[in-house]
Amino acid sequence: IKYSDAIFTQSAPSIRQCPADSGAEVAFAGRSNAGKSSAINTLCQNHKLARTSKTPGRTQLINFFALSDNQHLVDLPGYGFAKVPLAMKKEWEKHLSEYLAERQCLKGLILLMDVRHPMQEFDTMMLNWAIEGEMPVHILLTKADKLKKGPAQNTLLKVRKHLKDAKVDDLVSAQLFSSLKKTGIKELENTLDNWLRI
Ligand code: GTP
Ligand code: MG
């Protein structure tokens, strides 16, 4: 798959208004500011593809990017910052869990976590929903450039051990990633290639 061919196709204000459930799709999820939009841009070598921001909560719509007529990447809005009212957060959680459970074309979830504080409450919740539905998950420990090699590698090993102890390592994998240093792209591509193959 040529990720640099990705083009923006549409935004949906809610999961209920997504395009038709066909082909293969992979969604990028994670807390606000985890680096979802940046990772999509890095992968697709196009810094103008998905809008990134220093302000958490930049992406409020669900954005769809096409790699071909029937292969898509989805940039999900993140949250975890106090700006959003609790009722809206709960509503979004409900939609998100439904999307994970019901979307047939969703082949896997890329779950992004800042390498400096992985496995927060939101992350665990997303992981549990995915595992319940036997949805494969690939964890990107993002902003790996913010840590020295040793500590970053240690975090990765800890996350992998956690997955193994929870007996979900057949369904959930993890890697380090940095949009700034452009590291981890090939590993991410391999996972996506497998999931998006039709
Ligand atoms: P929301 O849309 O708010 O959910 O955020 P997001 O997860 O899409 O994050 P986004 O890609 O907009 O990045 C948030 C901030 O982190 C921006 O200031 C990025 O420049 C920065 N950032 C993203 N990836 C990296 C990285 O690999 N290294 C460093 N140092 N900064 C990064
Ligand atoms: Mg974003």
CA dihedral 123, 115, 40, 107 (to 10 degrees): -40
Does residue 137 register a pLDDT over 70?
yes
Instruction: For 72, list phi and psi in degrees, rounded to 5.
Output: -135, 150
Q: What tokens does 136 get?
A: 């494969």
Per-residue confidence (pLDDT) for residue 179, from 0 to 100: 98
Find out whether the beta carbon of 118 lies less than 6 Å from any atom of ligand 1. Answer: no
Mean pLDDT value of segment 2-18: 90
Are 138 and 109 in contact by the 8 Å Cβ rule? The answer is yes
pLDDT score at 83: 67
- The reported pLDDT for the residue numbered 79 is 66
Written as one letter, the residue type at 36 is K
Reported as a single tens digit per residue, the pLDDT across 23-39 is 999 999 999 899 999 99
Q: 57-61, 76-80, 113-117, 172-176 — which is least confidently predicted? A: 57-61
Residue pointed to by tokens 């979004």: 92
List the strands of the sheet with 137-142, edge to edge: 7-12, 62-68, 71-75, 24-30, 106-114, 137-142, 172-176
pLDDT tens digit sequence for 75-121: 988 766 656 778 877 888 888 888 889 999 999 999 999 999 999 99
Whose atoms come closest to the Cα of 77: which ligand? 1
User: What residue's CA is closest to ligand 1, atom 17?
Assistant: 54
Average of per-residue pLDDT across 56-83: 81
Structural domains in the chain plus CATH codes:
3-196 (3.40.50.300)
Residues with CB under 5 A from ligand 2 (ion): 36-37, 59
